Amino acid sequence: MTLNYDEINLIAIYKKDNRRDTIREIAEMATYLSPDEGELMSLADKAIKKLKSMSDDEFDSLELEFDFSA
């Protein structure tokens, strides 16, 4: 399973101490999106699916640092 650039950045922004809390945080953020933010909703859905499919050890080994240069 590979995370793309946008997924990595989204996860880095909402990262918590563990995978489940990170999933919960991204899902919570998504509840505040408006209908015209479909692209961000899609990104959140994809990131959550990938987080759910990985193990806690895989999550802990992710190098998640938000890239402010892009």
Write the single-letter amino acid at 32: Y
Domain assignment of residue 53, given as a range: 5-61
Is residue 68 assigned to a domain?
no
pLDDT along the chain (70 residues), means of 10: 91 96 98 97 98 96 74
49 in any annotated domain: yes
- Whether 69 is covered by a domain: the verdict is no
Domain count, the chain: 1
Enumerate the H helices of the chain as residue ranges.
5-14, 19-30, 38-53, 56-61
pTM above 0.95, yes or no: no
Tell me whether residue 39 is in a domain: yes
Asked, for residue 42, whether it belongs to a domain, the answer is: yes
